[in-house]
């Protein structure tokens, strides 16, 4: 069983079509603007200042409002006003479907129950892995880092989908793996299709599609793994640990990994699914 975003779940069941999904996602996106967007719209920040805060978020594990205050660009009262404004605008995906006439209330409630059951089954399998595997803590930290950094770096949500059998990995066209030499070696990687890699590259570099070729998208995937690695190392290794991270390896494949020393977790995102690899 796999945990999916509710919209993806409904699309795969045929409850809504692709056009309806895109329409609902766009409504949801505009109803939940980023704090920087709101600050610029209110004249509290310039676009240049908001971008500078976003750039620091790529390097620091801090919220937008906290960084803005530390830079002296917003006061705590202003951040509070922006957060209240953001919360008041937010609309749930299911409520949008009902409001737009795509689903009736009874069908929505039924689908929400089924979606929750699938999600709970998937998370039980994850809990079993985390409790029994030698890399359980690493996997939990790595998933948490992805969930936290994808919205900040790529402006998209991601979440755990399922535990994969390392002996039967999915087909992936792109794979970036970073190995970290330390007393306790660490390996972190992301694998995905070319389409997902290109979408990640565009989001990571904030450039239009016509400026991004496959080689540039691959480099962006490697840089994203480097960023994730930095945070995961911080969570998994002692503070005084010395380590050396190798450049991203693009030649490795999921089938070449030692299945006893690597965990494969399927993640889902609005840019496409990907495989999170955690190991030695």
Q: Which domain holds residue 195?
A: 135-279
Q: Count of domains in the chain?
A: 1
**Helices (H), ranges, the chain:** 6-13, 18-31, 35-41, 47-59, 64-70, 76-89, 93-99, 105-132, 136-153, 194-205, 214-236
Which residue, among 32, 36, 33, 34, has the nearest Cα to 68 in the 3D structure?
36
**What CATH number is given to the structural domain containing 157?**
3.40.1550.10
pLDDT surpassing 80 at residue 239? no
Please indicate, yes or no, if residue 63 is contained in any of the structural domains: no
Who wins on pLDDT, 194 or 257? Answer: 194
pLDDT surpassing 70 at residue 259? no
Q: How many CB atoms lie within 10 A of CB 17?
A: 12
Please indicate, yes or no, if residue 106 is contained in any of the structural domains: no
User: In this predicted model, what pLDDT tens digit does every residue of 168-227 receive, in sequence order?
Assistant: 899 999 999 999 998 888 999 999 999 999 999 999 988 888 888 999 999 999 999 999
Please indicate, yes or no, if residue 239 is contained in any of the structural domains: yes
Please indicate, yes or no, if residue 50 is contained in any of the structural domains: no
Please indicate, yes or no, if residue 52 is contained in any of the structural domains: no
CA 276/CA 267 separation, integer angstroms: 7
pLDDT surpassing 70 at residue 271? yes
Per-residue confidence (pLDDT) for residue 32, from 0 to 100? 84
Please indicate, yes or no, if residue 275 is contained in any of the structural domains: yes
Please indicate, yes or no, if residue 232 is contained in any of the structural domains: yes
User: In this predicted model, what pLDDT tens digit does every residue of 68-81 receive, in sequence order?
Assistant: 999 999 999 999 99
Per-residue confidence (pLDDT) for residue 1, from 0 to 100? 65
Please indicate, yes or no, if residue 269 is contained in any of the structural domains: yes
User: In this predicted model, what pLDDT tens digit does every residue of 123-142 receive, in sequence order?
Assistant: 999 999 999 998 999 999 99
pLDDT surpassing 80 at residue 118? yes
pLDDT surpassing 90 at residue 29? no
């Amino acid at each position: 069983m796999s945990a999916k975003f509710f919209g993806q779940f409904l699309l795969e069941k045929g409850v809504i079509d692709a056009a309806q999904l895109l329409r609902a996602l766009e409504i949801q996106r505009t109803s939940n603007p980023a704090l920087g967007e709101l600050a610029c719209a209110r004249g509290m920040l310039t676009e240049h200042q908001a971008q500078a805060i976003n750039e620091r978020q790529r390097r620091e594990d801090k919220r937008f409002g906290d960084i803005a205050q530390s830079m002296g660009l917003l006061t705590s009262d202003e951040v509070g006003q922006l957060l209240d404004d953001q919360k008041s605008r937010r609309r749930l995906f299911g409520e949008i479907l009902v409001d737009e006439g795509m689903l009736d209330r009874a069908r929505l409630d039924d689908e929400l129950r089924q979606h929750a059951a699938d999600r709970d089954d998937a998370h039980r399998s994850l809990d079993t892995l985390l409790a029994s595997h030698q890399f359980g803590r690493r996997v939990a930290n790595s998933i948490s880092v992805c969930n936290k950094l994808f919205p900040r770096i790529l402006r998209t949500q991601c979440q755990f989908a399922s535990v994969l059998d390392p002996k039967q990995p999915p087909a992936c066209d792109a794979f970036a793996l970073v190995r970290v030499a330390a007393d306790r070696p660490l390996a972190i990687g992301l694998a995905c299709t070319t389409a997902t890699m290109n979408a990640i590259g565009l989001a990571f570099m904030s450039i239009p599609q016509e400026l991004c070729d496959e080689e540039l998208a691959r480099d962006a995937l490697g840089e994203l793994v480097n960023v994730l690695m930095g945070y995961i190392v911080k969570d998994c290794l002692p503070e005084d640990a010395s380590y050396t991270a190798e450049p991203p390896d693009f030649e490795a494949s999921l089938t070449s990994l030692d299945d006893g020393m690597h965990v494969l977790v399927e993640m889902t995102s609005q840019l496409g699914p990907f495989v999170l690899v955690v190991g030695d």
